[in-house]
Amino acid sequence: MTSSTNFPTDIKSSALELIGNTPLVALDRLHPGPGRILAKCEFMNPGASIKCRSSLHMIQKARERGDLKPGDPVIEVTSGNQGCGLAVVCAVLGHPLTLTMSKGNSVQRAIHMEALGAKCIRYPQVEGTYGNITYADVSIPIEAAVTLAEETGAYFVQQLCNEDNSAAHYEATGPEIWRQTGHRVDGFVTAVGTSGTFSGVSKFLKEQNPEILCCVVEPAGSEPLKGCPIVKPKHLLQGSSYGIVPNLFKPEFMDESISVTDEETEHYKDLIGKKEGLYVGYTSGANVAAAVKLLKSGKLPKDAWVVTVLCDSGLKYTPVPESLIN
Ligand SMILES: Cc1ncc(COP(=O)(O)O)c(C=O)c1O
């Protein structure tokens, strides 16, 4: 017998409906003013990062175009978050998924992907150290993914040049920010990996109001978007800033590149936890550090609202100390 109710229900049909529509939280304890930092809580997506949005959009569009048929295998290279996002989407839609990833990315990411049924192949680093990944390190899993896609015929997502990556943010993340702020945004700052987030959100915001200051966040010494030579390729911003200008980056939307040191990143990552009760990853720390700098720069009105992104959860970074295991 089926039970019935006269009361309205609120049931999501799958994990895919848990993607996006993330809250915007004011970091008023960390930054009491003047001005306000408003942070998009992307760690609340089911794969614990902003990359769930592009994962869903890129797979949905590939299916709509017929490039990806039901049950077809999928392959992608990842620093972890795209892999976890794709693993959520592919688990629900029934696509076997293989990810290639540098061993410099935290092992917790591979554990997460595999728990969702994906296969994660990890490759040794050639330049960086664990937690500090350079473009040379990333090139190895990129080449491996290209070869695997050729050999197996699996659908290769190619987040680095897939326009549906930025479109996810143009069509959803940007409009959500606009609605949540009641159309009041003075600045937007975010770190850049593929540039899907920056390009999509900035394009949308500039269309609403070209005066909105859109800024990228780059680690000190690795600032190609600012046009500087790379003097320090290693940094803490896992998942972003590979020392290249990504294909999806749109210079016409960038008003400024804000430089953040590893120390500033750690300091603000720590403060977001201790003052706001939110355990987030390194790019979130860098984003908030940059938002504070922008508010203090005098480039915006004193009471400005700066929107930024808490890109992922901190849970997949911290190495577990040996002493805690036994
Ligand atoms: C932790 C983290 N922050 C920021 C980004 C940058 O996002 P995007 O690729 O949209 O530029 C990524 C991308 O993987 C990431 O993993």
Q: What would the mean pLDDT of 190-199 be, rounded to a whole number?
A: 98
Q: Which among 20, 21, 23, 30 has a CA at the least distance from the CA of 55?
A: 20
Alpha carbon of 6 to ligand 1 centroid (Å): 44
pLDDT digits (tens, 9 = 90+) for 244-271: 999 999 999 999 999 999 999 999 999 9
pLDDT (0 to 100) of residue 228: 95
Q: How confident is the model at residue 2 (pLDDT cuts 50, 70, 90)?
A: low
Residues 6+ apart with CB under 8 A from 66: none
Alpha carbon of 323 to ligand 1 centroid (Å): 31
What single-letter amino acid sits at 3?
A: S
pLDDT digits (tens, 9 = 90+) for 47-88: 999 999 999 999 999 999 999 999 999 999 999 999 999 999
Residue count of the chain, please give it.
326
pLDDT (0 to 100) of residue 231: 93
pLDDT (0 to 100) of residue 326: 57
Q: Which among 217, 187, 219, 214 has a CA at the least distance from the CA of 311?
A: 217
Q: How far apart are CA 310 and CA 43, in angstroms?
A: 6
Q: Taking the domain 51-156, which CATH number applies?
A: 3.40.50.1100
Residues 6+ apart with CB under 8 A from 75: 97, 98, 99, 100, 145, 148, 149, 152, 154, 155, 156, 157
Q: How confident is the model at residue 323 (pLDDT cuts 50, 70, 90)?
A: low
CATH 3.40.50.1100 domain range(s) in the chain: 15-44+172-316, 51-156
Q: What would the mean pLDDT of 4-32 be, rounded to a whole number?
A: 95
Give the sheet arrangement for strand 36-41, strand by strand. Answer: 24-26, 36-41, 305-310, 187-191, 213-219, 256-260
pLDDT (0 to 100) of residue 276: 98
For residue 205, pLDDT beyond 80: yes
For residue 325, pLDDT beyond 60: no
pLDDT (0 to 100) of residue 274: 98
Lining ligand 1 with CB less than 6 A are: 49, 51, 79, 81-82, 191-198, 239-240, 281, 283, 311-312
Q: Identify whether the C-beta of residue 174 lies closer than 8 Å to the C-beta of residue 205.
A: yes
Residue 78 tokens read as 């990842």
Alpha carbon of 194 to ligand 1 centroid (Å): 7
pLDDT (0 to 100) of residue 311: 98
Q: What would the mean pLDDT of 118-143 be, rounded to a whole number?
A: 92
Q: Which atom of ligand 1 is nearest to the CA of 238?
A: 1
* Mean pLDDT of the chain, nearest integer: 95
Backbone angles phi, psi at 312, to 5 degrees: -155, 175
Q: Which atom of ligand 1 is nearest to the CA of 192?
A: 11
Q: What would the mean pLDDT of 104-122 be, rounded to a whole number?
A: 94
Q: How far apart are CA 201 and CA 188, in angstroms?
A: 9
Q: Identify whether the C-beta of residue 52 lies closer than 8 Å to the C-beta of residue 45.
A: yes
Alpha carbon of 226 to ligand 1 centroid (Å): 18
pLDDT digits (tens, 9 = 90+) for 163-189: 999 999 999 999 999 999 999 999 999
Q: Taking the domain 15-44+172-316, which CATH number applies?
A: 3.40.50.1100
Backbone angles phi, psi at 219, to 5 degrees: -70, 140
What angle in degrees, to the nearest 10, is found between the helix axes of 282-296 and 262-276? 90
Q: How confident is the model at residue 241 (pLDDT cuts 50, 70, 90)?
A: confident
Q: How far apart are CA 204 and CA 146, in angstroms?
A: 32
The pTM assigned to this predicted structure is 0.95
